[in-house]
Chains A and B, each alone.
Chain A
């Protein structure tokens, strides 16, 4: 990333601050509209997400899938790919991990499940990468279509052959406790599962690889200027194929971690939109994967806090999507603005 004059964009970015202020007003107005006291709602949001050990555990439980899915999207973006298929990759990864963990208990099963999840996510993304690289088909279209393919396959399997014998709803049996991801911290009400550590490590690993790896350099080059990358001896098509596959594999990892660390069985709606929220997580993370950690945390807080204000203040959880949407608009505006400034 280019070094910029520190805070220069803050000084020039008055339009951005207008946007931020406007967004606050929109949220304020929305709260008044549903007849919730804005001040109390804000307090409840923070207390509900960060106010107790229990609340923090719940928030971090949301952060983990958001972070890992965000990494998947981020990797694609660095190669110039917009992977909208993380939702599907998450689901197929979770399904594959469940299948392995159900048959193979114990730590071996856990590791096998993680690998299976990543392989499944990678394989489902591979065709989108191949179509993009060798036929020029846009990855947004193909990954959206693959989301539907995965969703329908998962629904069919769980409604039929994979349905747990005694279950009423479409879900698989639970995996054995021996193959659960170990807890990272478990003190009283504070429970943090190992998945969060996996996410943080993958984010750091990705950051190092992009900066310090020759192949990471080549991937960024292919994403930043495909023509210059080709002139630099980089097989840009192969980079696209690999980047899409690895992006899918990380999406699959997010699904596997969700099953092994939090849900312990599979249902088709396991993801509940993490793959789509991940687009926002990656978008506001900025230039480095490390930025995904605060960005996923913010999303996690809003998710968890949104649930608690729904309970406490009868404010629809949807209000949080208004906030998230505005955040993404602001992030996009900031990013686009920087580009305009540097182009000028």
Chain B
């Protein structure tokens, strides 16, 4: 693990931000472990790492939204301790989060001033000041128009102006290009460089290596709450960074050997339109044979959600084919796909997998409600459902106080076990599992994957999304990678090669 010495030769004062030995623990999870971050004034500094590496936590500490358990934060060499974001803002720190804070119903000007009014709201000079600020950045805004008319790129620019309006000198941008088209992204980086040239300091939280290599001067890599490296961008390359981000396990997990039979799920050239103009899925193809578990690696938001929803029949693809259990499911409804044997362990069990006010018994039938033993024709089979619910609860030891009690009364882990067991209950053919082990301890995780494995031995095939590469390497036969809406298939000799998978996850497509 490359550990670089802190550059003691440089005076403390050169750093706009200097965080040393920052640790943070949430319950049993060590989110950050003695992390250092040193950001030079007037630079664009990248902070990279996988989902859950601790990037956002570290930034929220800097922004005063979280208080670190230990560690020191210095701004321009002077120690600071923020208890609220307000104090951070007053010290010149600004943060744009992944989700825009723009209110569509208000004008651009009102949005700009929102929360930073200070003086009278109807300041007649506000518009000219806003205009002046925009000109400095080379932006153009029609200040009196409603913000709903803004493109994603425009909204992002307005967010940056909001920071400048508050006199931010240090700007934190969390995944700013997630919603932007490539050209909007380029324009954003041009403005960030301009800001850095004017003396501002930018911290860019990102998954995307091309952004780091093309637009940043320094990069800090976090992995599992540890700072694993800090590099000058000129002295590193994409390959090395990808390796640092994903890490290397000491022993490569042994290749699993599944007997792969006929295809149970076949997706060909699937294209799905996204919400913001660019495609959420671009010509994605993947084939899952009976008997195998295929893992989808990739950072969050690479199109995994859209792929699952398209396969489930919840969103309509613009082009491409889907076959389930050998049948063309192109025009099939979600219900027909379930009848063909498609089962889902959804990402969000509260919203997508359960009705929390309902009993375990009724939830056991959810998605299987038209199939035997849950129904006889169009009548609910109460006895059959009761027995099935008991079996589902027993499968992974869901702890419950009674099958008639609302699912709400279960803990999150027990709910997850219940949802996973339900998907495996009724002779599944094709299993879609989105982080099936979410919120489970190691033992339960293994049991759920063993359950999926068992179903696969019985003729099913599974497609599993996880943001934890180690989990996928451990339990899947084969790994494919999604990146910005595209599917990449590592060549068969390296299908379990961390480096190659890591590169595909974070490189430009």
Q: In the complex, what distance in Å separates the CA atom of A1 from the CA atom of B406?
A: 8
Q: In the complex, what distance in Å separates the CA atom of A214 from the CA atom of B368?
A: 10
CB distance A217 to B355 under 8 Å? Answer: no
CB distance B344 to A231 under 8 Å? Answer: yes
B333 at the A interface (CB under 8 A)? yes
Q: Which residues of chain B have C-beta atoms less than 8 A from A231's C-beta? A: 312, 314, 334, 344, 346, 352-353, 367
As a 0/1 sequence over residues 233 to 247 of chain A, the CB contacts with chain B under 8 angstroms (1 = contact) are: 111000000000000
Within 8 A of A (CB), among B271-319: 312-314
CB distance B380 to A224 under 8 Å? Answer: no
CB distance B378 to A2 under 8 Å? Answer: no
A35 at the B interface (CB under 8 A)? no
CB distance B314 to A342 under 8 Å? Answer: no
Q: In the complex, what distance in Å separates the CA atom of A213 from the CA atom of B376?
A: 10
Within 8 A of A (CB), among B363-394: 365-367, 369-370, 375, 378-380, 382
Within 8 A of A (CB), among B120-153: none
Q: In the complex, what distance in Å separates the CA atom of A235 from the CA atom of B335?
A: 8
Neighbour of B367 across the interface among A211, A212, A225, A233, CB < 8 A:
A233
B330 at the A interface (CB under 8 A)? no
B359 at the A interface (CB under 8 A)? yes
Residue of A nearest to B348 (CB): A227
CB distance A214 to B369 under 8 Å? Answer: yes
CB distance B405 to A3 under 8 Å? Answer: yes
Q: A227-B352, A231-B367, A233-B338 are in contact. Are A214 and B357 (CB under 8 A)?
A: no
CB distance A228 to B355 under 8 Å? Answer: yes
Instruction: Kindly count the residue-residue contacts between A and B in the assembled complex, taking CB atoms under 8 Å apart.
Output: 81
CB distance B352 to A214 under 8 Å? Answer: no
As a 0/1 sequence over residues 147 to 166 of chain B, the CB contacts with chain A under 8 angstroms (1 = contact) are: 00000000000000000000
Q: Which residues of chain B have C-beta atoms less than 8 A from A230's C-beta? A: 314, 334
A44 at the B interface (CB under 8 A)? no
CB distance B379 to A232 under 8 Å? Answer: no
CB distance B333 to A235 under 8 Å? Answer: yes
Q: In the complex, what distance in Å separates the CA atom of A227 from the CA atom of B354?
A: 9
CB distance A232 to B366 under 8 Å? Answer: yes
Q: Which residues of chain A have C-beta atoms less than 8 A from B370's C-beta? A: 214, 233
Q: A232-B366, A235-B335 are in contact. Are A227 and B351 (CB under 8 A)?
A: yes
A215 at the B interface (CB under 8 A)? yes
Q: Which residues of chain B have C-beta atoms less than 8 A from A227's C-beta? A: 351-352
Q: In the complex, what distance in Å separates the CA atom of A338 from the CA atom of B312?
A: 35
Q: In the complex, what distance in Å separates the CA atom of A233 from the CA atom of B342?
A: 10
B231 at the A interface (CB under 8 A)? no
Q: In the complex, what distance in Å separates the CA atom of A261 from the CA atom of B404?
A: 42
Neighbour of B369 across the interface among A1, A2, A217, CB < 8 A:
A217
Neighbour of B333 across the interface among A213, A216, A225, A233, CB < 8 A:
A233
Q: In the complex, what distance in Å separates the CA atom of A157 from the CA atom of B53?
A: 71
Q: Which residues of chain A have C-beta atoms less than 8 A from B367's C-beta? A: 231-233
B337 at the A interface (CB under 8 A)? yes
Least CB distance from A285 to B in Å reads: 17
Within 8 A of B (CB), among A175-191: none
Within 8 A of A (CB), among B329-347: 333-335, 337-338, 344, 346
Residue of B nearest to A230 (CB): B314
B362 at the A interface (CB under 8 A)? yes
A221 at the B interface (CB under 8 A)? yes
B358 at the A interface (CB under 8 A)? yes
Q: Which residues of chain A have C-beta atoms less than 8 A from B193's C-beta? A: none
CB distance B314 to A224 under 8 Å? Answer: no
Q: Which residues of chain B have C-beta atoms less than 8 A from A233's C-beta? A: 313, 333-335, 337-338, 367, 370
Neighbour of B359 across the interface among A3, A214, A228, CB < 8 A:
A3
CB distance A213 to B335 under 8 Å? Answer: no
Q: Which residues of chain B have C-beta atoms less than 8 A from A232's C-beta? A: 338, 366-367, 369
- Chain B CB count within 10 A is highest, among A211, A215, A216, A225, for A225
Within 8 A of B (CB), among A301-325: none
- Chain B CB count within 10 A is highest, among A211, A214, A216, for A214
Neighbour of B362 across the interface among A213, A217, A234, CB < 8 A:
A217
CB distance A228 to B352 under 8 Å? Answer: yes
B489 at the A interface (CB under 8 A)? no
CB distance B408 to A342 under 8 Å? Answer: yes
Least CB distance from A171 to B in Å reads: 44
Q: A221-B355, A231-B346, A235-B334 are in contact. Are A211 and B366 (CB under 8 A)?
A: no
- Chain B CB count within 10 A is highest, among A224, A227, A235, for A227
Q: Which residues of chain B have C-beta atoms less than 8 A from A217's C-beta? A: 362, 365, 369, 380
Q: Which residues of chain B have C-beta atoms less than 8 A from A228's C-beta? A: 351-355, 366
Q: Which residues of chain A have C-beta atoms less than 8 A from B369's C-beta? A: 214, 217-218, 221, 232
Q: In the complex, what distance in Å separates the CA atom of A186 from the CA atom of B380?
A: 40
CB distance A3 to B334 under 8 Å? Answer: no
Within 8 A of B (CB), among A22-51: none
Q: Which residues of chain A have C-beta atoms less than 8 A from B365's C-beta? A: 217
Q: Which residues of chain A have C-beta atoms less than 8 A from B405's C-beta? A: 2-3
Neighbour of A214 across the interface among B312, B344, B379, B406, CB < 8 A:
B379
Least CB distance from A236 to B in Å reads: 10
Q: A214-B379, A232-B369 are in contact. Are A225 and B404 (CB under 8 A)?
A: no
Neighbour of B379 across the interface among A213, A221, A224, A225, CB < 8 A:
A213
Q: In the complex, what distance in Å separates the CA atom of A234 from the CA atom of B382?
A: 20
Q: Which residues of chain A have C-beta atoms less than 8 A from B355's C-beta? A: 221, 224-225, 228
Q: In the complex, what distance in Å separates the CA atom of A214 from the CA atom of B374?
A: 9
CB distance A214 to B380 under 8 Å? Answer: yes
Least CB distance from B486 to A in Å reads: 25
Within 8 A of A (CB), among B417-464: none
Residue of B nearest to A226 (CB): B351
Q: Which residues of chain B have C-beta atoms less than 8 A from A213's C-beta? A: 378-380
Residue of A nearest to B313 (CB): A233
CB distance B357 to A2 under 8 Å? Answer: yes
CB distance B366 to A221 under 8 Å? Answer: yes
Q: In the complex, what distance in Å separates the CA atom of A211 from the CA atom of B358?
A: 12
CB distance B404 to A212 under 8 Å? Answer: no
Q: Which residues of chain B have C-beta atoms less than 8 A from A212's C-beta? A: 379-380, 382
CB distance A2 to B335 under 8 Å? Answer: no
Q: In the complex, what distance in Å separates the CA atom of A234 from the CA atom of B338?
A: 10
Q: A2-B359, A2-B405, A231-B344 are in contact. Are A215 and B378 (CB under 8 A)?
A: yes
Q: In the complex, what distance in Å separates the CA atom of A211 from the CA atom of B369?
A: 12
Q: In the complex, what distance in Å separates the CA atom of A2 from the CA atom of B380?
A: 17
Residue of A nearest to B379 (CB): A212
CB distance A2 to B379 under 8 Å? Answer: no
Q: In the complex, what distance in Å separates the CA atom of A227 from the CA atom of B349?
A: 11
Q: Which residues of chain B have C-beta atoms less than 8 A from A218's C-beta? A: 369
Q: Which residues of chain A have C-beta atoms less than 8 A from B335's C-beta? A: 233-235
A-B contact pairs, 18 of them (CB 8 A): A2-B358, A2-B359, A2-B408, A3-B404, A214-B370, A214-B375, A214-B379, A225-B351, A225-B354, A225-B355, A227-B351, A228-B351, A228-B352, A228-B354, A231-B352, A233-B334, A234-B334, A235-B335
By a beta-carbon cutoff of 8 Å, the part of chain B in contact with chain A is 312-314, 333-335, 337-338, 344, 346, 351-359, 362, 365-367, 369-370, 375, 378-380, 382, 402, 404-406, 408
The 10 A-B residue pairs with the shortest CB-CB distance in the complex, in nearest-first order: A2-B406, A233-B335, A232-B367, A233-B334, A233-B338, A3-B404, A231-B352, A225-B355, A224-B355, A232-B366
By a beta-carbon cutoff of 8 Å, the part of chain A in contact with chain B is 1-3, 211-218, 221, 224-225, 227-228, 230-235, 342
Known: A232-B369, A234-B335. 11 other contacts (CB 8 A): A2-B405, A2-B406, A212-B380, A214-B369, A217-B362, A224-B357, A225-B355, A227-B351, A228-B352, A228-B354, A231-B334
